[in-house]
Chain A
Amino acid sequence: MSDHVMTKADIEAAEHLQHAHVEPKDFLSRYVFSIDHKYIGKQFLWAGLLFLLFGGLLAMLIRWQWAFPAQPVPVVGKALFPNSGGAITPPAYNTIFTMHGLIMVFFAITPLMIGAFGNYCIPLLIGARDMAFPRLNMYSFWTFVISQALVIASFFVELGSAAAGWTTYPPLSTNVGTPGHGQSLVVLALFVTGIASIMGAVNYITTVIRFRAPGMTWFRMPATVWGLWLTSILNLLFVPVLGSAGILLLFDRNFGTQFFVTGAAGGIGDPILFQHLFWIFGHPEVYILILPVWGFLIDFMSFFSRKPAYWFKGSVYAMISVSVLSAVVYGHHMFVSGMSPLLGQAFMLLTLVISVPAEILFLNWLHTMWKGSIRLTVPMLFALGTVFVFGLGGLTGIYLGTISTDLYLHDTMWVVGHFHLTMASAAFIGSFGALYFWFPKMYGRMTNETLGKVHFWFSVIGVTAVFCGQLLAGYNGQQRRLYDPFQYTYIQHLRDLNKFTSYFAFAMAIGQLSFVVNFFHSIFAGKKAPKNPWDVGTLEWTECDSPPVYHNFDKVPIVLRGPHEYNNPDVLAKTGRDWIGQTEQLPGDEVGLDAVAAE
């Protein structure tokens, strides 16, 4: 890398490798089966937001049940649960919490964070005209739509949708525990959405390897691209493991094999085997859902503190280490499933080692802000909120990674609070920050600052109160997933805590209306966005209009420096600006391109 000198030939080669697509004119290939990464990104955005609403409403039903068990749900109760006078029945409750989890993880965060921003950002940020395989990209989106359709269909079959918990553990998820076709449809939906994820991952990985613009070395890539790229690698390698578990489960359910059936159900299989497969996928999955956000944070901290990202390489190496470690810690989900104590110790050690790179990331974010000229824009607020909730989530995770404390906390609301602070709150608040940041580029209009700030405070106070409430309940011994927790005398004193938590959840949900209003109003009537409203130097802002032309770049950009050049005294003296674009030559510094050493 260090001895690579960019030549005219390199630049010409890049120009040929990435031919500009002509914008199609017919309706179908322009608005439905588009192969343009920007449009596919927006399609994923809409699909994800729609299912976020779906999953969010299911969450509200759960919160209602925990505050007022078995009482009629106001407004929608009579329509949803006509046979019980509007109250949530136990089977309906099982379906609600199961589908809340599955929808949020696979059909809301994944398309929003990876589908939308991966597609929209990766080519723009590395100076490519499109993905490596644009058609595969289109298939990826429509495969994803099929999986969403399967999820919706599962609600309409006899006995309803999946009800075995989001982890889908057998024997609950076999025909013994959930006999309806809904469970099969949902497992199939997971398999299909996995195929969509893998298609996307193949595209992202190959695009970053092959289509970086001349001069865009690995360490000149914005951290956002690093996060999305590492996430894609984890997706690529571990989603197929869930796929295999799903196939075997479908065989068990529909063809009578006995991979996971045993005991009283009469079989020779091993239900614990499913737990292994699920968590071999599942633990990388939680990092799949946070790595892109880490990338956003590294970039946003620098962009809005007007300082270079502190120890950028360290942050990148930290993300790489976490990606590697994430593959070898899954056993900490199974401390109480019957595990050799020695193996448990090894998993505990590896798990706790992850806090080292995570600390490096944290310190680098804080160092980047230290003595910076912080601009509290909406994306920056969301980034700061993400650091806060992720910090809470990370700290509470240590107690779950440690065997001695996990034995008590396992399967309590503590676990629920912990993983909602990390993979739910941090992932969503981080993604909303990214949405506010790239919205002007996507739609060519600015969002409303005030509404954005209202959205921020409702969201961040909301998630903190709700999930800290759950942590407290869990610490006091409340088991997760209970239909009516207060049937247990030892939980009865937590009734007020649960009500209080629910009120915060309802307030947070109402606060999301500020986002809905802002989103639609800005798309149609927002202030026209300038080319570079945030004064940052990455390619999508300096080289593209808002929104960019169909083929992104008229000429493939030639990158001269990294993405975080802020308040460089030299730049300040020569241009009067505190930032400089990645492709911009300083006045008086013009050199022949043949001599431009790329790092």
Chain B
Amino acid sequence: MSNVVQLDPRAIARARAEETTGAIGMMVALASWAMMFAALFFSFLVLRAQAKSWPPPGLTLPLALPLLNTVVMVASSFTLKRSLGRLRAGDRRASVTSMAATFALGVTFVALQVLLWQQLWADGIRFGTGIVGAVLYALTSLHALHVVGGIVVLGYLLAIAVRGGQLQRKASTLRFCGMYWHFVDAVWLVMFVGMFLL
């Protein structure tokens, strides 16, 4: 508990209030993001419903890589949740370890995603190859960009931790990052089920 800084109770109350305001703002913002992905998904469903077959004949969509990526993404949500829990409990070391694990899992996800695109490309699928090309490249890359956004925030927090900065004060940032991360995770689950599994 040595990291806990003694603060005046009014400052603590204000910090709490500000964190609540931030959390509400984050939830509001995520509603907007959800509508964006919902619209993209609506487009996918409309096109898929009109397609003669999905996937097109003579083509099998990869399943192993996306499945592995799903595991990676879900795991990263758990490590991030643990990181925040440990930070709140004052266990800085465990928190940073979990945060680094989340960071690594996020990077792994993006790397596997690049691998997936390479595999699709090798199978002869281009941007213009029917809806498969359109949907798989456009929608998954937009999602991957959001993962990269989360990685950047985690990197910023890790940099503070490595330099020995006041990580405790960034607990609210970690919380907002977590909300965003779980959301991006959920979007991936929908994508995985909708595009690769079904």
Contacts and interface: CB of A to CB of B under 8 A. Distances in A.
A280 B35 CA distance: 11
A317 to B, nearest CB: 22
Interface string B1-42: 000000000100110011011101100110111011111101
Contacts of A257: 127-128, 133-134, 137-138
Nearest to B37: A244
B51 A244 contact: no
Contacts of B21: 17, 132, 206, 210-211
A236 B134 contact: no
Interface in A104-126: none
Interface residues of A, number: 41
Contact of A13 (B13, B127, B130, B137): B13
Interface stretch (A179-187, A265-273, A464-472, A562-570): A265-273
Contacts of B119: none
Q: How large is the interface on B (under 10, 10 to 19, 20 to 34, 35 or more residues)?
A: 35 or more
A292 interface: no
Given A259-B43, A268-B51, A13 B17 contact: yes
Contact of A132 (B25, B127, B138): B25
Contact of A270 (B22, B38, B50, B137): B50
Interface in B29-75: 29, 31-33, 35-40, 42-43, 46-47, 50-51
Given A201-B32, A202-B32, A240-B39, A19 B137 contact: no
A258 B134 contact: yes
Contact of B20 (A198, A210, A280): A210
Given A13-B17, A202-B29, A240 B36 contact: yes
Interface string A482-497: 0000000000000000
Interface stretch (A245-253, A299-307, A361-369, A399-407): A245-253
A269 B36 contact: no
Interface majority SS (helix, strand, loop, mixed), chain B = helix
A269 B134 contact: yes
B126 interface: yes
Of B24, B32, B50, which is in contact with the most chain A CB atoms at under 10 Å from its CB?
B32
Contact of B46 (A203, A211, A273): A273
A256 interface: yes
A338 to B, nearest CB: 13
A205 B21 CA distance: 11
Interface in A267-300: 267-270, 273, 276-277, 280
Interface string A546-581: 000000000000000000000000000000000000
A198 B137 CA distance: 26
Interface of A: 13, 16-17, 19, 132-133, 136, 198, 201-203, 205-206, 209-211, 236-241, 243-245, 247-248, 251, 255-259, 267-270, 273, 276-277, 280
19 contacts: A16-B13, A16-B17, A17-B18, A19-B14, A133-B25, A198-B32, A236-B28, A243-B39, A244-B43, A247-B138, A257-B127, A259-B131, A259-B138, A268-B47, A268-B51, A268-B130, A268-B131, A273-B46, A280-B39
Interface of B: 10, 13-14, 17-18, 20-22, 24-25, 28-29, 31-33, 35-40, 42-43, 46-47, 50-51, 126-128, 130-131, 133-134, 137-138, 142
Q: Which 8 A-B pairs have the closest CB atoms?
A: A240-B36, A244-B39, A257-B134, A241-B39, A206-B25, A240-B35, A256-B128, A256-B127
